[in-house]
Structure 1
């Protein structure tokens, strides 16, 4: 019997039960095939339950969780991305008999649970638990295959230390916010010239979030950690974790203007993130490190839309998240189609030379994904970047728009550098493809390519109005009726 005041979006208990089932399965008898199957069906069931919940929200007061269109949309992106990442991992895990990794699906489902907890949260407590659940799972995933990746242990330690530092800053800010407002529900505490503690609390929470988003100058950990991780884990870090924390950032501030005392901070961070991510990507010869810096730059583009509330903001954010997720996952899926050399995850750009002659399908799809990230038609990324620019025009953010244009030009250079490498001399040996056939990976690449291309032709079908309603200053209750969730 469910208590009257309990409200729980159904994906949360499904992912929790799936995690416990995986634990019991591994403890009973190890079987990687069974663990992969349980993880896959857990994610599928969670995906099918997005519009359902247990219990009812309180009429007066606020629940710990919310289930409006924004939560459902970002949860949909996270669950689909996790399914894609599991399919990327399927072949290498299943055929690696010398180093079985039964815990991998468990850690992946656990990380997805943490991300989903964040997007459904409207309270600091479940939000922080989600942050830590995801961080703990990522530590294990990053270090899961040290026999293939010499930097795996080092990358895991870097993530452990810097994730702990950012969590401490975030928790300190949450403590100050609670001391000021007496409430744990999302709502920036109002600041005044006579009382600067609320402003300090909000700034510390924002710094903790920027660490998790790897915005400049809090970005130093991401390229090293992604380089030392298996490609599917790097994809999880670049897509799932960033969607989850950005969703919470939007939820925290709602659809209203950010406080005036944050404008200078946000303005500076956006410019540094766009220029820093793009300029540092120019020096990279490793595709995963290049994608890490590229993801930093894309966080800056997203922050422009976040910083520019208006009629176009919802369309810009929702389309950009979908475009970024599809394009980035597509590139990582193609990376997973190639063999991993010793102490390498198959991502050194010179090794891809001549791929258009040896593997034209993969070279063409990789080029489409890169052009989409660069904001070039026919990829969906063109319209996503256009929508972000439109939000800046609507709010007359001239300097931010100039930064977006400069950053996009720099980004186009290094994306085209990779494509030029793919078109290298035909007699140059390119990265060897994996032996055998991987139908799940081929299907995934085809589907993601169709999303990128079709989304670029019909972008209007992918921009629903799903941003959250503003939170009530009294108790943080979301005004959008949570018991009447709409389809994403």
Structure 2
């Protein structure tokens, strides 16, 4: 691994260079606009070089990074999401006041990409911590200073505990295998010893915390509620894509041992039901979306325990649909906000939105219905793919909870639509409010993706159908 021929995916290099350029520009002269432009330019360049790399992967599979169609798919989703969040943040008075903000966004994106491309515990853990530190800084931005500091402190404490558990598990895994390859220390189908079991469970618990699976979910609603709207979108989308991509890479598309399968099924049921039931009680829009995100992670985990020919494609399509729909909700929420007026963070503030802001209300309804799995949104085909994978593997119990959770989710999504269709009690102060041009473009593009993906699913989802994912340490699919 020492030498000039180290294998590194090109997007990691481009984003790293972009961060160094932004740091140098900040040391020379501060400029928020220049920081955003530099970050956006580097992300666009990184997207264009996805699939390229420098160096050559060693023959034995002992590489720090892995590159294949699965990593390309998830890396594009992460960088696309960050670009959308930058458009949401551009000229946002709540966050776009300091040039550290785009720098932290880029650092978080670098950490997420390092997790996606990891074939070794070292870059995975470093990427996880870089992402976590950047989230802590981003949460404190904006005019909601007190809630932001409280949310960042909660994330700091709980994230530190989960990272310690994860690191302990990594240490145990290294003691068992003598290798830092990113793969579980247990053999599928075998009855493993106590130490490999303990290592695998601790690593899985650390990943479940970052994924906000129940019962490791308690941090997500508080952190998202205390953060500015674009940062809440970053937490709900980018961090989830990164950790789920790493989770699939870690275990690969293989059957899990019986003891681990039972644990995963229990977590899936708790996550689906816990996320949906807790979302029913929320009056705050962002807290509702946080619990909705938890439920969607439960749906994704159904595909995770259904290995085979469908798994990688189903997970990719669902991640893409979840990304576009969630970004659309937060973009519409950001566009709804009025300086000195309602900010859209409370569901009741959307009352009568179809009369005062018909375009935004229509976009919000489209995104919510797609999240609920109603056609013609792309979310319908994404959820149908999860159900198909469950049917193929005869996961009857999990499918029952998928149906129950979807029905509950339909209720609180439609309740928001009903609120927007209700006649406002007073004339809305937002009738003359003009959307920022960049937000108008963003919500239109996201709406087109949702509709086109729903009407022409075969063509829309074809780029998101990589072959089955192998664990990083096997060498299968570990190179370009």
Q: TM-score range by the shorter chain?
A: over 0.9
> How has the CA–CA distance of structure 1 residues 429 and 148 changed in structure 2, closer, same or farther, with 3 Å as cutoff?
farther
Kindly indicate whether the alpha-carbon contact (under 8 Å) linking 2:248 and 2:469 is maintained by their aligned counterparts in 1: no
Q: Deviations over 1:70-97 (max 9, x none)?
A: 000000000000000000000215x98x
Which structure 2 residues correspond to residues 336-485 of structure 1 after superposition, within 5 A? 336-339=334-337, 345-430=343-428, 432=430, 435-461=433-459, 462-463=461-462, 464-471=464-471, 476-480=473-477, 482-483=479-480
Q: Which residue of 2 aligns with 1:121?
A: 118
Q: Which residue of 2 aligns with 1:235?
A: 233
> How has the CA–CA distance of structure 1 residues 437 and 303 changed in structure 2, closer, same or farther, with 3 Å as cutoff?
closer
Q: Which residue of 2 aligns with 1:12?
A: 12
Kindly indicate whether the alpha-carbon contact (under 8 Å) linking 2:308 and 2:468 is maintained by their aligned counterparts in 1: no
What is the deviation of 1:268?
0.4
Partner Cα distance (1:194, 1:425) in 2: 62
Kindly indicate whether the alpha-carbon contact (under 8 Å) linking 2:356 and 2:431 is maintained by their aligned counterparts in 1: no
Q: Which residue of 1 aligns with 2:72?
A: 72
Partner Cα distance (2:127, 2:478) in 1: 23
Partner Cα distance (2:191, 2:313) in 1: 36
Partner Cα distance (2:44, 2:356) in 1: 35
Q: TM-score, normalised by structure 1?
A: 0.93
Q: Which residue of 2 aligns with 1:486?
A: none
Moved more, 420-429 or 453-462: 420-429
Alignment partner of 1:181 is 2:177: yes
Kindly indicate whether the alpha-carbon contact (under 8 Å) linking 1:170 and 1:205 is maintained by their aligned counterparts in 2: yes
Partner Cα distance (1:190, 1:154) in 2: 39
Kindly indicate whether the alpha-carbon contact (under 8 Å) linking 1:84 and 1:444 is maintained by their aligned counterparts in 2: yes
What is the deviation of 1:459?
1.4
- Structure 2: 5+ residue stretches without partners: none
Alignment partner of 1:303 is 2:268: no
Which structure 2 residues correspond to residues 307-346 of structure 1 after superposition, within 5 A? 307-339=305-337, 345-346=343-344
Kindly indicate whether the alpha-carbon contact (under 8 Å) linking 1:8 and 1:53 is maintained by their aligned counterparts in 2: yes
Partner Cα distance (2:205, 2:478) in 1: 31
SS in 2 for 1:151: helix
Which of 138, 162, 166 pairs up with 1:170? 166
> How has the CA–CA distance of structure 1 residues 250 and 481 changed in structure 2, closer, same or farther, with 3 Å as cutoff?
closer
Q: Which residue of 2 aligns with 1:37?
A: 37
SS in 1 for 2:54: strand
What is the deviation of 1:264?
1.2
> How has the CA–CA distance of structure 1 residues 198 and 47 changed in structure 2, closer, same or farther, with 3 Å as cutoff?
same
What is the deviation of 1:358?
1.0
Kindly indicate whether the alpha-carbon contact (under 8 Å) linking 1:274 and 1:301 is maintained by their aligned counterparts in 2: yes
Alignment partner of 1:106 is 2:106: no
What is the deviation of 1:27?
1.8
Q: Which residue of 2 aligns with 1:158?
A: 154
What is the deviation of 1:310?
2.3
Kindly indicate whether the alpha-carbon contact (under 8 Å) linking 2:144 and 2:226 is maintained by their aligned counterparts in 1: no
What is the deviation of 1:100?
2.3
Partner Cα distance (2:192, 2:32) in 1: 60
What is the deviation of 1:4?
5.7
Q: Which residue of 1 aligns with 2:50?
A: 50
What is the deviation of 1:273?
0.2
Alignment partner of 1:22 is 2:55: no
Partner Cα distance (1:76, 1:245) in 2: 15
Partner Cα distance (1:252, 1:289) in 2: 30
Q: Which residue of 2 aligns with 1:259?
A: 257
Kindly indicate whether the alpha-carbon contact (under 8 Å) linking 1:149 and 1:345 is maintained by their aligned counterparts in 2: no
Q: TM-score, normalised by structure 2?
A: 0.95
Q: Which residue of 1 aligns with 2:128?
A: 131
Partner Cα distance (2:207, 2:348) in 1: 35
Partner Cα distance (1:235, 1:178) in 2: 35
Alignment partner of 1:285 is 2:283: yes
RMSD of aligned alpha carbons: 2.0
Partner Cα distance (1:448, 1:89) in 2: 16
What is the deviation of 1:260?
2.1
> How has the CA–CA distance of structure 1 residues 49 and 194 changed in structure 2, closer, same or farther, with 3 Å as cutoff?
closer
SS in 2 for 1:319: helix
> How has the CA–CA distance of structure 1 residues 211 and 342 changed in structure 2, closer, same or farther, with 3 Å as cutoff?
farther
> How has the CA–CA distance of structure 1 residues 166 and 243 changed in structure 2, closer, same or farther, with 3 Å as cutoff?
same
> How has the CA–CA distance of structure 1 residues 301 and 72 changed in structure 2, closer, same or farther, with 3 Å as cutoff?
same
Kindly indicate whether the alpha-carbon contact (under 8 Å) linking 1:339 and 1:434 is maintained by their aligned counterparts in 2: no
Partner Cα distance (2:182, 2:388) in 1: 28
SS in 1 for 2:379: helix
> How has the CA–CA distance of structure 1 residues 83 and 434 changed in structure 2, closer, same or farther, with 3 Å as cutoff?
farther
Kindly indicate whether the alpha-carbon contact (under 8 Å) linking 1:346 and 1:431 is maintained by their aligned counterparts in 2: no
Partner Cα distance (1:342, 1:367) in 2: 25
> How has the CA–CA distance of structure 1 residues 428 and 129 changed in structure 2, closer, same or farther, with 3 Å as cutoff?
same
Q: Deviations over 1:208-259 (max 9, x none)?
A: 0000000000001100110000010000000000000000000000111122
What is the deviation of 1:193?
5.5
- Structure 1: 5+ residue stretches without partners: 484-488
